[in-house]
Amino acid sequence: MTDGGMLELWQDYNLTARTVEHLAMFSVALLLSMIIGFAVGVLLFRKRKYAGVSFAALNTVETFPDLALLAILIPLLGIGAVPTVFACVLYSILPIARNTYTGLTSVSAGHVGAAESIGLTEREVLLHIRVPLALPMLAGGVRIAVVFTMGIVTLGGLVGAGGLGVPLQTGIFNNIPALILLSGAWVGLLAVLFDGVAAAIEHRLNRRYGVW
């Protein structure tokens, strides 16, 4: 198809508005995942005896297929953006929480001992030593969450959430290969772009904090 034909498809199926919807859901879901995942990771670091069972439970959630989880959430949360965002958060908590926990527990005893020797409390050691040094690992978890979130938000089109899943679904149901190609390529490009941004942030944090 020519560039003009692609542009016409873009306009006919309102892909600009669908992209805005898609990125809005993506942003909300990723932000919630980061906040909750980080909080869970810190909490499990402070209550380490619960870490094993907590991560096992989160791993169980990961075993549910995306569509099956969305289907389970529809009777509880209805259709639309809410179950889609909720599913994104459920899938994304694990990599962020696990990497936060691993990062916090992996800080060397030398760093902690030096901080304690100058009078820092346990809370201050956590905030000023452990958390900064755990940032590269945390960024790695967020990068995984970016990929999960982009994929599940796309599936949200099947449950009335809007976004770029809608033109993909329309193209599949109505056998419009050009629309499938355009929508799929655009979702893929967005995923690559956001993964690239996350990778750049992770690389920068590794350069600054990665050598413990």
Mean pLDDT over 75-101 rounds to: 93
Per-residue pLDDT reduced to its tens digit, 119-158: 788 888 888 888 888 999 999 999 999 999 999 999 998 8
Whether 3 shows a pLDDT value over 60: the answer reads no
For residue 2, the tally of other CB atoms under 10 A from its CB is 7
pLDDT at 2: 58
Name the residue ranges covered by the structural domains of the chain.
15-102+134-210
* pLDDT given at position 212: 47
How many angstroms separate the first and last alpha carbons of the chain?
53
Give pTM, 2 decimals: 0.89
Q: What is the pLDDT of residue 187?
A: 93
Homologous superfamily in CATH for domain 15-102+134-210: MetI-like (1.10.3720.10)
Residue 21 pLDDT: 93
pLDDT tens-digit readout, 182-211: 999 999 999 999 999 999 998 988 888 765
State the Cα–Cα distance between residues 77 and 86, nearest whole angstrom: 9
pLDDT tens-digit readout, 22-46 = 999 999 999 999 999 999 999 999 9
